[in-house]
Structures are given as C-alpha cells and as structure tokens.
C-alpha cells in the first residue's frame, strides 16, 4: 500500500504530493486525512505530512520509495470533505495545498482533555464513623474535617477542588484515606465550554406572515430534496434572527446541524445569547478569543454530536459536524468574510462549495439589511432566491434621518465636530435620560484630500478613485500610479481650506465630555477592546444604562439592539467614500444604513443625523432614505461601465520584493506572460504600486486583470503559478513572492 502525502511546508516548490510506502504495522492506522511522520529530502529530515490518497500502484521504482515512520499523535485528522474542500480552495484562490488544508482544520493540534475529580465513600457509614473517631483521638484534623463532611452527607460526591480548597485538606491526606480504602477518587473528563450563562429558554416566537413565508418556502425546498442558496434582504430590525432560529429548529428535528456565521467577535455575544436562550447548551461558539483547548473541545463536541449549532466568524465554517444541514451567513455584506491571508477565500463562496460537497447537501442562507452587490446581483439574475422583509418588528418604526451639510456649518463659523442640529438633539436626549450612539466612520483614513469649503475631493483622472496623500507633498492613485503635487488652493472654488480629514474616537469622547460634563461616556474601538471579554463588558454596561453615550468605530453599528437609543450621530459620513477602492460607495451606504438602523428600535421614535461634506452623494442620500434598490441601480450601472465585480470578475496579482526595480521588472514580465495568451475581452491594468507601496521595507506591486468569466482568470493564475515555479526551480526569485486575490474586497 502506498500513500500520496502533502508535506507540511508552505512553499510552491513542494506543493505536490510525495509517495511513501505504508509499512505493514501501520496499515490499519493510516487512512486518508491522517497526519503522519515521514523522512523528507536528502537528509531525511523528519517532517509532518497529511495523507491525501491511498493506492496500491507505485508511481516509480518501489525500491526507491521511502517508508512512513509513524502516525502523528498530536494532530487532528482531516476528513474526506475537508481534503476535497482544501483542493477546491487551492485551485480557486491560488495557494499551496498545505495552506488550504490548515485553513479548513480550525484546531489542528490535539489538546489534553480537562478532568474533574470527585471523592466519595467506599465503606459503609458505620465503619467510616469508627475511622472518624480514631482521627479525632489522634488529632488528625484534616482527615477529621473530610470524614465529618461525608458523615453529614454520606451519599455525596464531593469535588476534589472543594476538599483541597474550602476544607483545606492536603493531597497527601486524601491519598492516605484512599490507600486505606475508606474513600475513592474518580476522574471524569469534560469539555471546556466557552459559554458561562444560564439558559432561561423562551418559547417559540410567533412569526409574522413575511417571516413565515420565508421559513415555509425553504422548508418545502428541503422536503423536495433541493439545497439552494437564499438571500434574505430585511430592513434593520425586521426579525432576520427569528427566521434563522425557525429554520435551524427544523433542520435539527431532521437530525442535522447548523453553522451560523457572523462577521466579527463584537457581534458574538448578543447573537449567541439569543440562540442560547432558544436552544440551550446545544449551541457553542468559535472565535479567536478562545484558548487552543477551548477551540479543540468545540471541534470535538461538534464531531461527537454534543452540540447542534456553532456560531462564529468565518473559521466556524470549517466545524466538523457529521451532518451539516444549513449554513447561515448573517450580515453577508461584511468585508471580514474575506480572508486576507493565503488562501484569500470568501466565506460566502466556500460555504456554497461546501454545501455541494456534503453527502446530503446543505441550504445556504445569506442575510443582510444591505446585501453585497455580489449577492443581490445573483438574486436579480435568478442564480439565488431572494426574499424580502420590509416591516420592523421591534415595535419601532424606521428613524427620521437628517443630513447636516458640514460645508454650510463651516461657512457659518461652526468649527466643532458636532453640527448644530446634532448638538441640539444630543442636549435634548441627554436631558430626557435617553441614550446616544456616536459613530465615526474611520475607514479610508489613509488621508484623502478635500476642500472644506466646497467639498471637492481630489480624484485620479483615470480611475475615479480618490488620490491618497503621501509623504513629500504628493497625491498618488493606488490603482494606476498617477500622481500630482498636493495643491494649496482648491481648483474648483479657489478656497485655501484644502486639507486631509483626521478625527478619532478619543477626540470625540473628549469633545462630548467638554460640552456635556454630566454625560457618562463609553468608547468602543480597537484600543478599548484588546482584552478577552472587553466587548461584552462595554456592550453590557451600555445595555444596563451605565452610560448615556457610546462612541465608537464600525464595531458599534452592526447588529446590536439597544431599545433606549433614540439618537445616532454619524460623524464624517463621507470619509469612507474616498478610500482608494471601487467599493467605497457600497461600503459607505452599508455602514450608514446599518448605523441609522440602531436608532428607535424600542417604543420611542429615533433620530439620525448624518454629517457630511458631500450631502448630495447618491450613497448618502440612499442611506438616509433606507433605499437599497435606488442605491443598487445607480452603483451597478457604474460597475457595469467600468467592468468591476459583480458584473465582471477581477484578479489582483500581488508581487512583493526587497528591491523596487526588481519587483516592478518582474511584475511587468508577468503581465507580458499573461498577455501572450491573447485572450478575448480581458483587460489588464498595471503593474502599479500597491495602495501601501512599502511595508517593512518590502515593496508591493499589483496587476489587475478583469474578465467576465472567472475560469479565464483561474487559467491565467495557473499559468503564472507555472511560470513562477519554473523560475524558482532555476534558482531565481529568491526575494520575490507572488500571491493572488480574486474579486478583492480590501485594497492591497
């Protein structure tokens, strides 16, 4: 028997299988997915590898094939579906097989199980009393305390920690009583459970007719053996979570399990509690704040059927359930569903592929108040099924949204962070003991330059993205490399108020305290949420009304439900409009709509003030009116015109090197290699310096390739990989690396 093995080295040179003989003693232990120890290379260095397939056919002379040394005990095996999914990700996103395999094994190292010890009596009570009297006589105080506890509660199993802690009995004293046969010590293994909460279950909520229609439609597809992808487009507060719970209920009754993806850890706690109250401890969580032991235990609990539902960010998608029946991706438009390390996969695409690989298939449900253009475009073209939820079920109505024109404020002499209207409303709400959320839109803070007088933003004449300010007084386009000197006066209105906008959460917190000294302010940003449990602490304090004002970045505007928030202030709404990114308008619309949706979720009506230097931009107007369709139509026309996703597909070939000239020359050569294919309707842009041209003294270049057919881009990716491997085999490219990103979500 021979095993084709992928070696645990993330390098293109060894990104293929190597064949080893399976010794007779390991025939029963070695199967597909098992991690093994093998001798590798000229010096027979001991390496780890994963068995990808078993065969009885040697690929070359059997005498030259090395033997597997042993099965690796400390690592988790990869299942058949994991291997097939990793192979698809390697092909689709351009990465090494081992990198893809490690991605689909969220906890690859085995951890020791936790053990609870209990002490109980071995002898009848009468004999124990004799021993107790003897201990009293001999003044053996520790033994006396322990036996007294048992005589008071003879049928108890007492936790070991209680005996050593509360009763202050040493391990030697416990052992001595054990050796005499008076007590017995039992050990029980248990799983670490990251949720420490009591499950005060509530019954089923009655669904609205809109919600029930969605649940019934998906259930009838399921009954008919159809496993489709669905998009639920529901306004903020329309009860998407209740639909998810009803669908999961149905899937669990069929003996299957559910994976629920949420965009980031900040949302875990509130979502988790809603599911936990319904399903009890059949729910668990998976995220980066868990210890390796906790992660490993959640994987084991899933494997063994100890839980039915896992909730977490994108890595939770790879939970090894025996029979996944549904995958739900909440807030599917979020950029965090895209991985920024190799393989650069998108959780939405991988979930759809995983659903096809599962033996019975799985339904994939995407949900959002502001769906990504990709998902909505597919719904419009009939590729996925669309459902709408248009009524707010939280008792509230959609808030009243006003746009404050910061150009006008400046002209009238207001240089404060707050517009007069926002200030007035904050004063009113704080006097009424209601809560306020202030959101600073800090995305794209690389420093776009605008005129504070007329709102003019300096843009690239070739790419329709804003120019970014760089050191040395230059404005540079991160897409094509165009540059111009930083202007001193505005070419549109002649004003000298030309500057880059910079404001942070700390600054806003200080301003609130300055103008409203009695207000209690909480701040939530990357600095205040570094420690474990900090998200829950801040959100819990705000929910319990320990503060009137919550200031934060985008982590405060998603999915949270605070009934007493009646005012949301969005500061610098247009800041994300000028990130050098073709998705800038979409991101801005999504963030503003989500932020506006936090107000008025309870009985009282909510207000939202959007502060902007570009109050008439279509994404800001559409967000103020909560008009997704209007925004979609305008934005898709622009994407169609410039051949951006989702209308077309785009691949970013990313080259990094220590020497700028070498990196540029190599990037130019790669473009020429791709162009030699003479493919129809393929557009090449670049090479140009990446949006951050240098990090840690490594220069970064990018080539963008656009094509209507994704398979054409995958072909070009394969061609580049082959070319790079050939050069590496000849000893070139020592200081150059190449990576790929398909339909990039974040700039490079």
Distance separating alpha carbons of residues 415 and 419, to the nearest angstrom: 9
What is d(CA 370, CA 332) in angstroms, rounded to the nearest whole number? 9
Which of 27-36, 174-183, 470-479, 509-518 is predicted with the least confidence, judged by mean pLDDT?
470-479
The percentage of the chain sitting over the pLDDT mark of 90, rounded to a whole number, equals 34
pLDDT value at position 445? 37
User: So what's the pLDDT on residue 444?
Assistant: 34
Question: For residue 631, what pLDDT is reported?
Answer: 95
pLDDT at 560: 66
**Average pLDDT for residues 94-120, to the nearest whole number?**
76
Q: What torsion do the CA atoms of 406, 411, 415, 416 make, to the nearest 10 degrees? A: -40
Phi and psi at residue 663, to the nearest 5°: -60, -40
287, pLDDT greater than 90: no
Identify the CATH assignment for 2-104 out of 3.40.1440.60, 3.40.50.1820, 3.40.50.12780, 3.80.10.10: 3.40.1440.60
The mean per-residue pLDDT over the stretch 110-124 comes to 74
Mean pLDDT of the chain: 85
- pLDDT by residue (tens digit) across 616-634? 999 999 998 889 999 999 9
Q: Given this model, what pLDDT does residue 385 score? A: 96
In sequence order, what are the residues at sequence separation of 6 or more whose Cβ sits closer than 8 angstroms to the Cβ of residue 315? 106, 286, 287, 288
Q: What is the CATH number of domain 400-445+502-638?
A: 3.40.50.300
Q: Where in the chain is the domain with CATH 3.30.70.100?
A: 649-742
Q: Write out pLDDT tens, residues 505-564.
A: 777 888 899 999 999 998 887 667 767 677 778 888 888 889 999 988 777 766 567 888
The predicted pLDDT at position 251 comes to: 95
Average pLDDT estimate for 240-249: 93
The per-residue pLDDT for 154 is 74
pLDDT at 279 over 90: no
- Picking from 304, 285, 305, the residue whose alpha carbon sits closest to that of residue 295 is 285
Among 4-13, 386-395, 429-438, 572-581, top mean pLDDT goes to: 429-438
Counting other chains too, the contacts that 272-275 makes at CB distance below 8 Å and 24 or more residues apart are 272/195, 272/311, 273/197, 274/241, 274/245, 275/245, 275/248, 275/309, 275/311
pLDDT at 268: 56
The CATH 3.40.1440.60 portion of the chain extends over 2-104
- pLDDT digits 0-9 by tens, 159-186: 777 788 777 888 888 888 888 888 888 8
Encode pLDDT of 697-740 as tens digits: 788 899 999 999 999 999 999 999 999 888 888 878 878 999 99
Residue 202 scores a pLDDT above 80: no
Left if phi > 0, otherwise alpha if psi is -120 to 50, otherwise beta: which for 325? alpha
pLDDT of residue 446: 42
What is the average pLDDT across 498-502?
Answer: 68
Strand partners, 468: 448, 476
Say what the pLDDT of residue 191 is: 60
Residue 714 confidence (pLDDT):
93
Q: At what angle do helices 141-152 and 171-179 cross, to 10 degrees?
A: 70
For 45-48, which contacts have Cβ atoms below 8 Å and span 24 or more sequence positions?
47/7, 47/8, 47/9, 48/7, 48/8, 48/72, 48/75
**Per-residue model confidence (pLDDT) at position 157:** 78
- 460 pLDDT above the threshold of 90: no
pLDDT score of 711: 93
- The whole-model pTM stands at 0.77
Average pLDDT of 185-205? 60
| Spatial contact of 256 and 325, defined as CB atoms under 8 Å apart | yes
245 pLDDT higher than 90:
yes
Kindly report the CATH class assigned to 209-389: alpha beta
Task: Please tell me the distance from the alpha carbon of residue 37 to that of residue 658, in angstroms, as a whole number.
Answer: 35
Instruction: Indicate whether 270 pLDDT > 80.
Output: no
User: Confidence class of residue 130 from pLDDT cuts 50, 70 and 90?
Assistant: confident
In the chain, what percentage of residues exceed pLDDT 70?
89
CB 314 within 8 A of CB 336: yes
Nearest to 331 by CA among 558, 64, 110: 558
Report how far residue 35's alpha carbon sits from residue 215's, in angstroms, rounded to the nearest whole number: 42
pLDDT at 110 over 70: no
pLDDT at 443: 40
Listed in order, the ranges of the chain carrying CATH 3.40.50.300 are 209-389, 400-445+502-638
- For residue 364, what are the CA distances in angstroms to 223, 351, 377, 500, 742? 15, 7, 17, 43, 21
**pLDDT higher than threshold 80 for residue 410:** yes
More confident residue, 631 or 64: 631
Q: Is residue 92 very low, low, confident or very high in pLDDT (cuts 50, 70, 90)?
A: very high
DSSP assignment of 271-297, as one string? HHHHHHHHHGGGEEE--TTS-HHHHHH
For residue 50, pLDDT beyond 70: yes
CATH among 3.30.70.100, 3.30.710.10, 3.30.750.200, 3.40.50.970 for 649-742: 3.30.70.100
- What is the structure's pLDDT at 77? 73
3-state secondary structure of 331: coil
Mean pLDDT (whole number) for 271-285: 81
């Amino acid at each position: 028997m021979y095993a084709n093995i992928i070696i645990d080295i993330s390098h293109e040179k060894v990104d293929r299988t190597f064949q080893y003989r399976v010794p007779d003693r390991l025939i029963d232990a070695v199967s597909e997915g098992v991690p093994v120890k093998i001798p590798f290379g000229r010096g027979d260095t001991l390496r780890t590898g994963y068995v990808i397939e078993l065969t009885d056919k040697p690929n070359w002379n059997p005498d030259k094939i090395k033997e597997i040394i042993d099965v690796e005990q400390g690592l988790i095996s990869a299942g058949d579906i994991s291997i097939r999914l990793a192979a698809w990700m390697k092909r689709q996103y351009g990465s090494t097989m081992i990198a893809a395999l490690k991605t689909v094994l969220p906890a690859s190292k085995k951890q020791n199980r936790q053990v609870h010890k209990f002490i109980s009596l071995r002898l009848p009570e009468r004999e124990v009393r004799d021993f107790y009297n003897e201990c009293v006589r001999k003044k053996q105080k520790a033994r006396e305390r322990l036996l007294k506890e048992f005589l008071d509660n003879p049928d108890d199993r007492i936790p070991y920690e209680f005996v050593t802690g509360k009763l202050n009995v040493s391990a030697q004293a416990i052992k001595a009583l054990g050796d005499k046969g008076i007590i017995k010590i039992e050990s029980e293994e248990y799983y670490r459970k990251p949720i420490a909460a009591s499950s005060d279950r509530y019954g089923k909520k009655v669904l609205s007719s809109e919600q029930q229609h969605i649940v019934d439609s998906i259930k009838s597809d399921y009954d008919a053996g159809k496993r489709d992808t669905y998009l639920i487009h529901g306004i903020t507060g329309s009860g998407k979570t209740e639909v998810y719970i009803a669908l999961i209920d149905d899937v669990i009754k069929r003996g299957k399990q559910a994976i629920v993806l949420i965009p980031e850890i900040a949302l875990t706690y509130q979502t988790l509690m809603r599911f936990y109250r319904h399903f009890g401890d059949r729910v668990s969580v998976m995220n980066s704040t868990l210890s390796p032991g906790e992660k490993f235990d959640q994987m084991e609990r899933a494997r063994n059927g100890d839980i039915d539902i896992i909730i977490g960010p994108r890595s939770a998608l790879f939970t090894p359930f025996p029979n996944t029946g549904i995958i739900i991706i909440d807030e599917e438009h979020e950029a965090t569903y895209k991985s920024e390390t190799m393989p650069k996969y998108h959780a939405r695409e991988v979930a759809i592929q995983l659903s096809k690989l599962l033996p019975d298939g799985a339904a994939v449900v995407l949900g959002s108040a502001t769906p990504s253009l990709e998902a909505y475009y597919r719904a419009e073209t009939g590729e996925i099924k669309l459902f709408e939820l248009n009524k707010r079920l939280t008792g509230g109505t959609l808030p009243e949204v006003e746009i404050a024109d910061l150009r006008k404020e400046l002209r009238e002499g207001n240089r404060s962070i707050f517009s007069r209207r926002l200030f007035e409303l904050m004063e009113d709400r704080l006097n009424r003991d209601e809560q306020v959320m202030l959101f600073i839109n800090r995305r794209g803070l690389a420093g776009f330059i605008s005129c504070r007088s007329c709102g003019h933003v300096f843009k690239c004449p070739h790419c329709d993205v804003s120019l970014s300010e760089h050191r040395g007084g230059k404005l540079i386009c991160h897409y094509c490399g165009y540059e111009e000197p930083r202007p001193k006066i505005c070419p549109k209105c002649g004003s000298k108020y030309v500057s880059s906008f910079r404001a942070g959460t700390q600054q806003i917190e200080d301003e609130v305290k300055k103008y409203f000294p009695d207000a209690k302010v909480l701040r939530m940003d990357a600095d205040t949420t570094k420690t474990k449990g900090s998200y829950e602490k801040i959100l819990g304090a705000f929910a319990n009304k320990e503060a009137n004002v919550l200031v934060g970045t985008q982590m405060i505007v998603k999915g949270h439900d605070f009934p007493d928030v009646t005012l949301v202030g969005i500061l610098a709404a247009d800041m994300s409009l000028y990130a050098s990114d073709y998705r800038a308008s979409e991101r801005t619309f999504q963030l503003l709509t989500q932020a506006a949706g936090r107000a008025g979720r309870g009985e009282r009506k909510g207000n939202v003030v959007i502060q902007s230097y570009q109050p008439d931009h279509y994404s800001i107007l559409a967000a103020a009116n909560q008009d997704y369709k209007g925004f979609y139509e305008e934005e898709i026309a622009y994407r169609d015109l410039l051949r951006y996703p989702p209308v077309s597909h785009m691949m970013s070939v990313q080259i990094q090197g220590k020497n700028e000239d070498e990196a540029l020359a190599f990037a130019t050569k790669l473009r020429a290699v791709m162009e030699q294919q003479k493919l129809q309707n393929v557009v090449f842009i670049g090479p140009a310096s990446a949006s951050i041209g240098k990090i840690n003294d490594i220069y970064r270049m990018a080539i963008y390739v656009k094509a209507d057919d994704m398979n054409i881009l995958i072909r070009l990716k394969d061609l580049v990989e082959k070319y790079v491997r050939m050069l590496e085999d000849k000893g070139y490219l020592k200081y150059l690396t190449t990576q790929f990103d398909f339909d990039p979500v974040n700039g490079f």
